[in-house]
A and B are shown apart, each in its own frame.
Chain A
Amino acid sequence: MATVTIIALDGLIFASWLFLVSAGLTLVYGVLRVLNIAHGSLYALGAYTAATLVIAYSHRGLWPPGTLAVLPLAAVVVGAAVGPLVERGILQRIYAREQILQLLATFALFLILEDAVKLIWGPSPYYAYRPYALLGQVRLGGVVYPVYSFLLVLVALSAGALLWLFVTRSRFGRLVQAVIHDPEISTTLGINLSRVYVLTFSLGAALAALGGAFTAPMISVVPGIAVEVIVVAFAVVVIGGLGSLPGAAVGALLIGLVRAAAIHLVPVLELFTIYVVMAVVLLARPHGLFPPPEVRRI
């Protein structure tokens, strides 16, 4: 029984992390139809920015819990600074081109950012782990968990909920819906397409950075963290159905639980979990769990 509780908790924690690092990817794909490989780099930028801010904050000896408030700030900074730059500078020029070429462009961007991060922050690791232990621990199912892990769950839940409300209820969200449905008609209706694109991409970038920012306190922030996130985020998004936000949540939960079960019951299988889950889901549902409706053009 205790094992089941632990598996459920570990699964939930990992799923929250997965959802945070992949929500932006599915949002950007849903609207811009660009599968952004540089999503991983934006995650890394978020982690580095957060680490820098946390270190700067701690150095001033300010009120410790304030470090937690610094984390979302990193996401805003990255989203506002890098998002428009990338969208205006690169993506905007290639929307008319083949999808796969856009993929290549984001890969090129990933390579560039990989070295850019090293040039800005240097190759040495950054540590911002103080917030991780700040909230104390709880004992659940006979095992000690840091409260931070549940903060992560809370952040993932609220980010998901806010995003969902924003896309379905707000005025801008309705514009986005219209654009997703038919970009051409939207333009004729007077929707400023390029504004929708740049705002959505920046929001996606901020989400990626948010994932990175909340990961920073759990890890040693070093070069090379970007690439590890990409394929994981892709898997989540594809399992859920590209462009579907609830899909990403379910996909994250599925992978999280299967992986936690593997770790506790058959650790040898951990390496395979993500890919096996993805293959099985795709074999059963070729377009993922919740594919947005697609028009067949003959």
Chain B
Amino acid sequence: MCTRSEAVRKYVPVLVAVVMGMGLAAGSGAAVLAPSAVKIGIVTFLSGAAAAPFGIPARNAAEVLIEELNAGRVPVPYSQRGIAGVPIQAVFVDEAGGADKQVAEFRRLVLDEKVDLVIGYISSADCLAVAPVAEELRALLVMFDCGTNQIFEEARYRYVFRTHGHQILDNVGAARYILRVKPDLRSIAGINQNYAWGQDSWATFRDSVRQLRPEVRVLVEQFPRLFAGEYSAEISALLAARPDVIHTSFWGGDLESLLIQGFPRGIYLQSTLVLTTGDTVLPRLGRDMPPGVVTGARGPHGALAPDVPLNRWFKTVYTGRFNVRPIYPSYHIAQAIFGVKAAYERALSRSAGWPTKEQVIAAFEGISFDTPSGTISMTLGRGHQAVESVAYGITGTYNSKTREFELTRVLSFPAECVNPPDGVRSAEWIARGFPGARCP
């Protein structure tokens, strides 16, 4: 039992201390001190069918880049060690197990591993599932490879960024390219994997071609099961239909299997093949790739990457370590890592001490930064979604020095030509005849 005044006397000092403590905490929360490391969760496929073509090339690139960054061996503008002098620490997680597993793993990374941010996700379903969780946890998420255009067209995100262009540019670019090199195009056919990526890619390509050239006929639309591996019947159907152009967004083992089974049957002789991810097989099939195949890299990556110092350096360190040149998933994760570094350092230059998450986000929005694929700008999704240019070429002659086919007739389409303006949905943009597109 104590009187009121006694209680006041007893608790006032405590109260004062608490308030002061809170003030101090808030002061240090505004961050003067840099952390001992920037901890990044990196999620890519380490097992399953997407590991070899995407997950591992991305993991490899992340590993070598982070090592070089921490050692301060990266050329300008990234010559500062780690992120603003603070070393980067990576935690790798397997993307296998489905969306529910990935939501659980994302929560674990944020709440248990206490990572500063997560870079990840190759599967569109994983991106779509994890994005709302990043918002809920107020955790910074940088998507590095998933293709769906839905993310920022269907929702607004504050904590989510994507540092590469989405599926639209591959296929709008492919349509524009094929009409440039084959002005007398009369018929198209498609073979795409039976899931959202394949369905979206084909619909975008088909609708773009028909928008640009309404008289083109669609002959065959094949959708084999994902990871089917055996395509002899589908190839027969394509051979029998004799289209001018065959479009495919196949990737990884499926793409290689399709080509291995299609080439001996002359699929490239009577039709022009358009491979939106073709760059990934150039180093793998080497001499066995035939000439005359239209090849893309989901942006200016791989053999279609610009000849800038950062790219030359990236190719050298990557090839030096893994004995194979980087392909687009490697470029995509490099974009994410450089984007994060650029955003942190920009935020740091604007604030007094180590930037808060909010400051990093503010700096990330709308940023332009250099990458091995050229300069990337975050112009869509209110500054959260990157646009990229896209380039296509045709396999020409075999180069025994690089041990792969060289691409000829390379044409590059700037970002404003193959991406819808901010706030316009991709499907609408194509249906209305690409309003606002600026093409050379």
Residues of A near any B CB (own CB < 8 A): 2-3, 6, 9-11, 13-14, 17, 114-115, 118, 123-125, 127, 129, 132-133, 137, 141-146, 148-149, 215, 217-220, 222-225, 228, 259-260, 263-264, 267-268, 270-271
Which residues of chain A come closer than 8 Å to B194, judged between CB atoms? Answer: 270-271
Which residues of chain B come closer than 8 Å to A11, judged between CB atoms? Answer: 233
> B264-282 interface mask toward A, CB cutoff 8 Å, 1 = contact, 0 = none?
1110000000000000000
A129 to B263, CA, bound (A): 11
Nearest A residue to B194 by beta-carbon distance? A271
**Distance (whole angstroms) from the CB of A21 to the closest CB of chain B:** 10
A133 to B228, CA, bound (A): 20
Partner of A145, one of B50, B234, B257, B265: B265
Q: Can you list 24 A-B pairs, Cβ within 8 angstroms, ordered by A?
A: A10-B232, A114-B47, A125-B256, A127-B285, A129-B260, A132-B261, A137-B266, A142-B240, A144-B239, A145-B232, A217-B260, A218-B257, A219-B256, A219-B257, A219-B260, A219-B261, A220-B253, A220-B260, A224-B51, A225-B253, A263-B234, A264-B237, A267-B220, A271-B194
Can you add 4 more A-B contacts, CB < 8 Å, to A218-B229, A264-B233?
Answer: A222-B51, A224-B47, A224-B48, A271-B194
Partner of B225, one of A118, A132, A217, A270: A270
A263 to B236, CA, bound (A): 9
Output the residue of A118, A145, A217, A224 with the most chain B CB within 10 A. A224
* Chain A facing B: main interface SS: helix
Nearest A residue to B222 by beta-carbon distance? A267
Which residues of chain A come closer than 8 Å to B256, judged between CB atoms? Answer: 125, 127, 219-220
Nearest A residue to B263 by beta-carbon distance? A133
Given contacts A127-B284, A271-B194, contact A218 B265 (CB under 8 A): no
Partner of A3, one of B56, B220, B240, B260: B240
Nearest B residue to A129 by beta-carbon distance? B260
Q: State whether A6 touches B225 (Cβ < 8 A).
A: no
Output the residue of B223, B233, B239 with the most chain A CB within 10 A. B233
Output the residue of A146, A148, A215 with the most chain B CB within 10 A. A146
Output the residue of B52, B221, B265, B266 with the most chain A CB within 10 A. B52
Q: State whether B253 touches A14 (Cβ < 8 A).
A: no
Given contacts A223-B47, A268-B223, contact A10 B236 (CB under 8 A): yes
Partner of A144, one of B225, B228, B266: B266
**Distance (whole angstroms) from the CB of A272 to the closest CB of chain B:** 10
4 A-B pairs closest in CB distance = A224-B49, A220-B256, A10-B233, A133-B264
A270 to B228, CA, bound (A): 11
Partner of B47, one of A3, A115, A146: A115
Q: Does B224 belong to the interface (CB within 8 Å)?
A: yes
**Chain B interfacial residues counted at CB < 8 A:** 41
A124 to B54, CA, bound (A): 10
Nearest B residue to A268 by beta-carbon distance? B223
A222 to B49, CA, bound (A): 7
> B218-254 interface mask toward A, CB cutoff 8 Å, 1 = contact, 0 = none?
0011111101111011101101100000000000110
A136 to B210, CA, bound (A): 38
Given contacts A9-B236, A129-B288, A143-B239, contact A223 B229 (CB under 8 A): no
Q: State whether A132 touches B265 (Cβ < 8 A).
A: no
Q: State whether A260 touches B233 (Cβ < 8 A).
A: yes
Given contacts A224-B253, A264-B236, contact A123 B229 (CB under 8 A): no
**Distance (whole angstroms) from the CB of B242 to the closest CB of chain A:** 9
**Distance (whole angstroms) from the CB of A101 to the closest CB of chain B:** 24
A14 to B47, CA, bound (A): 28
Nearest B residue to A13 by beta-carbon distance? B232
A215 to B260, CA, bound (A): 12
Q: State whether A6 touches B240 (Cβ < 8 A).
A: yes
Which residues of chain A come closer than 8 Å to B285, judged between CB atoms? Answer: 127
Partner of B229, one of A9, A228, A267, A271: A228
A127 to B42, CA, bound (A): 29
Partner of A132, one of B48, B224, B227, B264: B264
**Distance (whole angstroms) from the CB of A9 to the closest CB of chain B:** 7
Q: State whether B223 touches A267 (Cβ < 8 A).
A: yes
Partner of A219, one of B225, B229, B266: B229
A268 to B46, CA, bound (A): 32
Q: State whether A225 touches B229 (Cβ < 8 A).
A: yes
Q: State whether B260 touches A218 (Cβ < 8 A).
A: yes
**Distance (whole angstroms) from the CB of A246 to the closest CB of chain B:** 23
Partner of A17, one of B53, B230, B263: B230
